[in-house]
Amino acid sequence: MAPPRVFFLSPANSGGERAQLLYSPRAAFDLARRLRSPEGAPIGEVFSFLSGLYFRGKLAYAQRFGVPLVITPNAGLRPADARVTLATLRAAARVDIHAANPRYRKPLLATARAVADTLGPGGVVTLLGSIASDKYVDVLLGVFGERLTFPTAFVGRGDMSRGGLLLRCVRSGAELEYVPIAGAVRHGPRPPRLTPVR
């Protein structure tokens, strides 16, 4: 039996406006309280709050059609249910996600190699994130080569459009088409707007 498809989910911005809501000592909503506790909260839930529609779509899609692993700024790949605290979130926010930054690159490389070893030669991984820049592709392509794929429908779409598309796929049960990133067209014209869901 072939191993399940593994999805790599690009991270949410840990230093943006929505993150400041979590960092505020006056924040009394449930997620903020759990982040301040020693147990923390699942990284998938935290990033869904930080990013909104896009990460929520990626997470729901990956859970529906395979296994989600979250790319982090400073700790490589982590399961979506791995717990983070306010302190670990602040530490992540201080790391620049850039292919040449060793604080980001080294943990991602190490965990990607561990995933590749676990999956074996038949395992295929799919990046749910920006394929137009090299910040994820440059690191992951060196580990997975032709086995690193992406949804062709991502080309030309913005984040909100991608999130909406992924949630539609979850509702319909229809998986997207994937192609290897190596040698693929990663830039293209913007596709037509998604038809609003009634």
- Map 163-198 to HEC letters: HHHHHHHHHHCCCCCEEECCCCCCCCCCCCCCCCCC
Cβ neighbours of residue 48 closer than 8 Å, sequence gap 6 or more: 12, 55, 56, 59
* CA dihedral sign of residues 170, 147, 132, 52: positive
- State pLDDT tens for residues 115-168: 999 998 888 899 998 887 789 999 999 999 999 999 998 887 888 888 999 999
- State pLDDT tens for residues 131-142: 877 899 999 999
9-14-15-16 Cα dihedral, nearest 10 degrees = 60
* pLDDT score for 196: 58
pTM score, whole prediction: 0.90
- State pLDDT tens for residues 48-58: 999 878 899 99
* pLDDT score for 53: 85
* pLDDT score for 127: 96
